[in-house]
Structure 1
């Protein structure tokens, strides 16, 4: 095998996180060499992979956008193609596009303690290639790009229609005039349902039913931020972006904290808003009254209440029940109700896959993730020169991604200043272990046994709070007694 190509920093993943990380790295450390290895043939990650109708952000773009690059569109909740363009424009602006290597499926990374560097093994067109790097940074997200989560349904083989998962949406799927059942009630489902019956759409289903096992909290929000559009005219693009970003973070943090402390109050407020947007007499408590508290799972946002408007027009409906079996022409529910369908969309969630499934090892010895503990939710105990980016579950992904990028750049700068080459979080064995995420979403619960642990105290304790992390990540002392530089 030829000598592996060597760089200072190797970034895995050319999606929202990876491009943001590379852009900040190129700004803060322009003399450092780096590459971005991307498994797929295109950049953009989620925003290039998902092609289902109506694909859009479920966080406002003033927080989903990068801190260093203002979102200039007037829409607060943007469609997928617009977000993809924004991410790729960022890559071009910062020269990241020239550092991406496509078609690289990274399968293993081994740290050599003697050489103080990582060796990565990747598959490219069926051939094995290797790279070496001083620092490894995983920005591959946390779900499986190969397939989404699809539970087994009784009788599915006898269904004569089409079954699709949103993660693998066929480009040639024609749903015009068809009866569609969307199984699920998360962010994907509440996006799909109104999009497939949009009055001015090129394709329009005859009717779409959202079939949910249990209700989800759904909140209507303005599709545009009027304050942002006014501020742009007064203080300019960058200043307006910073102010609205801060305002939106504060609003989201307030809603989350109030939801945790006063769930009955928030539940009542959401119910009142939902009732107002639906026809008189609609069974709100049947279809829109979750059994769990607000923000125990992610709260779904719908721009300008488009889901509720589709229901009010009669173009869409909600069924709250469980599936007894598929039938040749639809679904039979446990209540005995029959749902006729030409197309069934299984918006049943994701499969979680940490770090893209890369197997980490130290000097040839495997390091299973469950045996590690997460340091500030961005590094792992006893894993040298390694960082990862995973966003918030209760706020915009990019808020955390930006903070991680700042932290990694600070660490690299500290290593330069102290003439050190290795950094590793050292775990105190007395610290208690807790699950990596305190979150009730199905995709998290199904994978907790395959994830790192978090600790019972800081800096091992994960806080789902941007304002907390600004202090603990952006402004923390690097010589904190846990990070070891050598």
Structure 2
């Protein structure tokens, strides 16, 4: 049975972004009513979805964690279950969990200018309304991952799995495993599985840049011994932001220097320059695609110890006992893990419409990287491609609260970015396959502020809190036809 209920703000998604948004909203606007609509049955989002061996952050936890709740675990690169627990504890402590509606997948949302509200429909038949809709569901398609149509796949007699849907009962102890792919998931899986498998082979079409980082942050450890937790966290956070942003800028401006440095590190661990040049020397420049972090050089150590290996080749066809490559070599396999990438889905796949007109997200302009041109009272949250997701997500939450405060002070009921003509630059500026496959589905950015999205946290942290919320924004006051809806706390 449908339930008609109204909120000041509806947040879609109870992952890292959604819980962070709810915390900010509850602290800074305690008079606002809100609910979180979560399609899954648990808190955590991505960190609840992915359960493959070794799943962990590829960003340090001092920047991936919330600025308002210090990371207290010893690891800088944390396992997925610890991140999930951290998000859950944050929600519990702030009273957010009680406001989450689990198993509630949003399918569509319609804006009515006459009523100055969104009407939100769910797969279960519920109908809710809100003054402002905030999509915090990230951009991964939770229902399906990317799976190429490999020739001969039905001939393979072993097991084939996708990391996004890892079977709880998969036993790989003593088995020959082939992991197809070379991205963040693959470089995580290989050393994790190599600890128990007979051997793990990472099969890649072309090399990817990887960079080892220590699993313990020495600066954070020292700061914790002499400073209170929040101060220590700020020190580690500031250091890591400066290091990662500095490295990114160096890679973009001096790519040959960074290439040589990454190669030297790989040779240091693998002791074989020829092997490094064959399997760890990409054709593209560093940060044209996201770098893969390997904590404590675990991938290199697994290879050097003989428990894992890398093969750079193309698949000719699957055969009953493994994979035949174009070179003619056959890789024997009991289990094949298809770590071939993710599918992206803008704004959680929700169908949006404004006054009866469907919104084509792929043809929309992105306003400050968090709203859509021509779409009132709607925001979406995405993170950086070159730094921790939470850094940008938290800036988005703070900007949104500033906008809501401005609307409240002036008696406005809607705020609509007035989209200019733009250059059509992609919102996600990476050459990675999973990004390129979905470019047309995502909004584009323009060629000037506030339609230009810069991947620069150091700039954004200074400018976003001071941003003019009225720039290229059209506001309306409450229409006389609006009736006061029932408010549910």
Could you say which TM-score interval applies, normalised by the shorter chain?
over 0.9
Shift of the alpha carbon at 1:484? 3.8
Preserved CA contact (<8 Å) 1:4 1:132: yes
CA distance in 2, matches of 1:281, 1:422: 60
Matched, 1:408 2:405: no
Structure 2: tracts of 5 or more residues without a match: 478-489
CA distance in 2, matches of 1:334, 1:172: 33
Matched, 1:230 2:230: no
Shift of the alpha carbon at 1:485? 5.6
Instruction: Provide the alpha-carbon RMSD of the alignment.
Output: 1.2
In structure 2, the residue matched to 1:465 is 456
CA distance in 2, matches of 1:281, 1:435: 37
Matched, 1:439 2:411: no
In structure 2, the residue matched to 1:201 is none
Matched, 1:100 2:80: no
Preserved CA contact (<8 Å) 2:3 2:126: no
In structure 1, the residue matched to 2:304 is 312
Shift of the alpha carbon at 1:288? 0.3
In structure 2, the residue matched to 1:154 is 151
Shift of the alpha carbon at 1:433? 2.3
Residue aligned with 1:428, SS: coil
In structure 2, the residue matched to 1:69 is 69
Residue aligned with 2:179, SS: strand
Preserved CA contact (<8 Å) 1:77 1:303: yes
Preserved CA contact (<8 Å) 2:415 2:473: no
C-alpha offsets along residues 317-363 of structure 1, whole Å, 9 cap, x if unaligned?
00000000001000011111110000000000000001110010011
Normalising by structure 2, what TM-score? 0.96
CA distance in 2, matches of 1:132, 1:19: 20
Shift of the alpha carbon at 1:472? 3.1
Residue aligned with 2:348, SS: helix
CA distance in 1, matches of 2:109, 2:475: 21
Matched, 1:117 2:113: no
Normalising by structure 1, what TM-score? 0.96
Preserved CA contact (<8 Å) 2:419 2:472: no
Residue aligned with 1:401, SS: helix
Shift of the alpha carbon at 1:49? 0.8
Residue aligned with 2:342, SS: coil
In structure 2, the residue matched to 1:475 is 466
Q: 1:50-199, aligned counterparts within 5 Å?
A: 50-124=50-124, 128-198=125-195
CA distance in 2, matches of 1:90, 1:258: 35
CA distance in 1, matches of 2:52, 2:6: 39
Residue aligned with 2:62, SS: helix
Residue aligned with 1:192, SS: helix
Shift of the alpha carbon at 1:441? 1.0
Preserved CA contact (<8 Å) 1:106 1:122: yes
Matched, 1:371 2:353: no
Seen in structure 2, the aligned counterparts of structure 1 residues 3 and 324 have a Cα distance that, compared at 3 Å, is closer
Preserved CA contact (<8 Å) 2:191 2:302: yes
CA distance in 1, matches of 2:461, 2:376: 24
CA distance in 1, matches of 2:432, 2:272: 32
In structure 1, the residue matched to 2:443 is 452
Shift of the alpha carbon at 1:279? 3.0
Seen in structure 2, the aligned counterparts of structure 1 residues 432 and 161 have a Cα distance that, compared at 3 Å, is same
Shift of the alpha carbon at 1:251? 0.6
CA distance in 1, matches of 2:274, 2:221: 35
C-alpha offsets along residues 442-486 of structure 1, whole Å, 9 cap, x if unaligned?
111101111111111111011111112113322212222445464
In structure 2, the residue matched to 1:329 is 321
Residue aligned with 1:285, SS: helix
CA distance in 2, matches of 1:372, 1:38: 25
